[in-house]
Amino acid sequence: MDLAYLRAHPGQLPTFLTHQRIRETPVSGGDICTASRLTLDDGTSIFAKTWPESAATPVPEGFFAAEAAGLRWLAEPAAVPIPEVLASLDGMLALEWVEPGTATGAAAERFGRDLAALHRAGAPAFGADWPGYVGALPQDNTPSDGPWAEWFGRTRLAPYLRRSVENGALGAGDAGIVERVIGRLDGYGGAEPPARVHGDLWPGNVLWSAHGRAYLVDPAAHGGHRETDLAQLALFGGSPFLDRTLAAYQEVWPLADGWRHRVPVHQLHLMLVHTALFGAAYRESVLAVARAALSV
């Protein structure tokens, strides 16, 4: 199997792997999937993700299809580099291999300009035309005309708050703090039409390549608020050279007044996803961003 054959017959990839016709090397792939570097007969490397065989549940319906749809949609404006989708199957996703590199200040500035161009490409509505996932959890992508505050509270905060209470990660008092933020969403300002967003843009989903560009990977792509992507970049230690990324972004498409104060509002979505997925280890992080939002 070479790259041309794979593009023409993507459904044959699992068969070649089962019969060990392709060299497979495990690589880091995040917390959800098993990841491998596959080397084809022509020497081409590709990146493959599969649902772990040890998982307690089978792969969710449409899981890899949602990621593939998001990657292709983010690639349409040709703004930020996105790995090419080579095969999207029920149990596997195969992508163009991107040789990893090291972040530099110049690459971070280019990333800021690229991200502004991606966001500015826009979306027809909040949500998307395909069922969504964030991590391993379903995400309601039902298209909505907004307003943003109502949509964000209903589809991006409330479902993961409910899951976090049900799994014991958050108590009733904790939930009350988050519910106060949800009740105040329309008062934070900065409302904008839907942007074309990555949707899960913590720093680990920015792949700094060996040729000096930042690629976007593992999206939960949809029409959303551009400030959500930017706020997520500041989580978990922050993206390298984040100040330079934000400054370059502002040169291309300045943010609305007060955006820095709204950062915790936009971070709350991803932090609630973490308590819903991983439990009480992220409780204090959720409460910190919720209380910061209430202090605005």
- The residues annotated as belonging to the active site are 200
Q: Residue 147, preceding bond cis, omega within 30 degrees?
A: yes
Nearest-angstrom CA–CA distance, 187 and 281? 30
Q: Write out the two tokens for 181.
A: 């933020």
Backbone angles phi, psi at 74, to 5 degrees: -65, -30
Nearest-angstrom CA–CA distance, 188 and 11? 48
| Under 8 Å between Cβ of 96 and 209 | no
Nearest-angstrom CA–CA distance, 17 and 125? 40
Backbone angles phi, psi at 128, to 5 degrees: -155, 175
